[in-house]
Every structure is written in C-alpha cells, then in structure tokens.
Amino acid sequence: MNIYFTASIVGKEKFLSNYLKIIDILQSQGHKVISDHIIKSSEDQINAESHEELEKFHKSLKKWIMESDCVVVETSFPSISVGFEISLALNLGKPVLLLFTNDPPSLLSSYENEKLISMFYKVYDLKTILEDFLNYVRGKSEHRFTFFINSKIANFLEETSRKKHLPKSVFVRGLIEKEIEK
C-alpha cells in the first residue's frame, strides 16, 4: 500500500521520534511511505526556496497524495500547510488518519467526514491504531459506525483508553464482542 505521511516540519524538534516511529511501523508492514519531504527537510530550507521550487514541490505533493492509498498525519504540532494537505487529501477522496498526543486539531475536531479519522495516541498504541486504520482502508473493516456520546461517556472512554493502553474503538468493540458471546 502507498501511504502519504505528513506532519509539521517545525514540530520535528519536539515530535521527530514519534514521526519516525509511525513511519517505521508502516514500513515494517511492507508499505511504501512517502515521508522524505518531512523527515529530510528543514524550515530554513523551505524558506530559502524560490517561487518556482515551491510550485514544483506543490505539484509533487499533489501527485504523491493522488497516488497514495491513504494519508497518515501526525498533528500534535499545528501547521497550516499540514491542514492544506489534509484538505487536499479529503477532496481527493483519500482516507485520512489524524494522530495527536495532546488535543485534536481545532479546526478538524468537529468536521464530519467518513474518510477522516482522528485518534489520540501514545507511542505504545501506534501499531494497533495504524493496523485498525489500514484494515479500514483495505475494506477489511466491515462497517464504520459513528455515534455521538455525552461528556461523561467521553471522559470514561478517554480514561479507560489511557489506563488499558487501548484505542477507544478497540475497547468499545471488545465490550460489544463480550455481549455477543453471552
């Protein structure tokens, strides 16, 4: 599978190890991950590029997203450019996974699109979260089910997710499977 990875270049100072972990998990599963534009670039390099170089990069970026099966985004550090890439991917109909370690991206936290999945993560959760997302992309996830919950339930799920080191969806799915087995 071709996966486009993006994140804040400025955020590399704080989150580079997370970026590399995400890329490593995806590559270790045999996927081609387009990520050099983030990992091998610096803010100074980008600021020094000419208008023509930036235009050429923009065309490459669009091509990479178009040729990808999905997009994985680490959004813990805000970035307008990353927001543009997310918007472009969604407009092209690509499934997008937003990963964050603190708060969800403010503009996207209430945006509803079945192709957009937002997940809080801890590094130890990444493998499971990425596998679940890729199963969804492949269509191995039989159905995606979204519903609204009140803040009491949301707080419970968040706390349980952290304590059990599980994504919330995995915890809820486990509860349903236990009920089915009864």
CATH number at residue 110: 3.40.50.450
Domains held by the chain: number: 2
Position 15 scores a pLDDT of 96
Domain span at 74? 2-143
d(CA 167, CA 171): 7
Digit-by-digit pLDDT tens for the chain (182 residues) are 999 999 999 999 999 999 999 999 999 999 999 998 899 887 888 878 888 988 998 899 999 999 999 999 999 999 999 999 999 999 999 999 999 998 777 777 667 777 888 888 999 999 999 999 998 888 855 556 667 778 888 889 888 877 876 677 778 888 888 899 88
Q: Are residues 112 and 177 in the same domain?
A: no
Position 109 scores a pLDDT of 64
Q: Are residues 127 and 162 in the same domain?
A: no
Position 29 scores a pLDDT of 94
- Find the length of the chain: 182
Position 134 scores a pLDDT of 92
Q: Are residues 69 and 38 in the same domain?
A: yes
E-state strands within 48-146: 70-74, 96-100, 116-120
- Measured in whole angstroms, the distance separating CA 74 from the mean position of its chain's CA atoms is 5
Q: Are residues 69 and 128 in the same domain?
A: yes
pTM, entire model: 0.76
